[in-house]
Amino acid sequence: MRREEAVVRLDSVSKVYGDVTALDDVSLEIRRGEAVAVMGPSGSGKSTLLNMVAGLDRPTSGSVVVNGEDLTGLGEAGLARFRRRQIGMVFQFFNLLDDLPALENVALAGRLVGVPARKARARAGELLDELGLSHRGDAYPAVLSGGERQRVGVARALMNRPALLLADEPTGAVDSKTGDQVISLLLDLNRMGQTLLLVTHDERLAAQCATRLVSVTDGRIVRTADLERGESWSAR
Q: How far is the CB of 231 from Mg ion (least distance, A)?
A: 25
Q: Write the DSSP symbol of residue 230.
A: T
Q: Tell me which of Mg ion, ligand ADP, none is bound by residue 45, counting a contact when its beta carbon lies within the kind-specific cut-off of 5 to 8 angstroms.
A: ligand ADP
Residue whose CB is less far from ligand ADP, 44 or 105: 44
From 37, 48, 154, 209, residue interacting with ligand ADP (rule: CB under 6 A): 48
In a 3-state reduction of DSSP, which class is residue 121?
helix
Cβ-proximal residue to Mg ion, closest one: 47
Q: What sign results for the dihedral spanned by CA atoms 72, 75, 81, 87?
A: positive
d(CA 137, CA 122): 11
Q: Which residues of 99-128 are buried (b: 16+ CB within 10 A; e: fewer)?
A: eebbbbbbbbbbbbeebeeeebbebbbebb
Burial class (CB in 10 A: 0-12, 13-18, 19+), 155: buried
Q: How far is the CB of 13 from ligand ADP (least distance, A)?
A: 12
Q: How far is the CB of 51 from ligand ADP (least distance, A)?
A: 7
Q: How far is the CB of 17 from ligand ADP (least distance, A)?
A: 3
Q: Tell me which of ligand ADP, Mg ion, none is bound by residue 48, counting a contact when its beta carbon lies within the kind-specific cut-off of 5 to 8 angstroms.
A: ligand ADP
From 33, 39, 45, 92, residue interacting with ligand ADP (rule: CB under 6 A): 45
**What helix, strand, coil percent values describe the chain, rounded to 5?**
40, 25, 35
Residue whose CB is less far from Mg ion, 115 or 186: 186
Q: Does residue 89 touch ligand ADP according to CB under 6 A?
A: no
Binding site for Mg ion (CB under 5 A): 47
Nearest to 36 by CA among 178, 156, 157, 165: 165
Which H/E stretch holds residue 8? strand 6-17
| Stretch of 14-22, 29-37, 67-75, 112-120 lying at the interface with ligand ADP (CB under 6 A) | 14-22
In a 3-state reduction of DSSP, which class is residue 201?
coil
Binding mask 15-44 for ligand ADP (x = CB under 6 A): --x--x-x-----------------x-xxx
What residue ranges bind ligand ADP (CB under 6 A)? Answer: 17, 20, 22, 40, 42-48
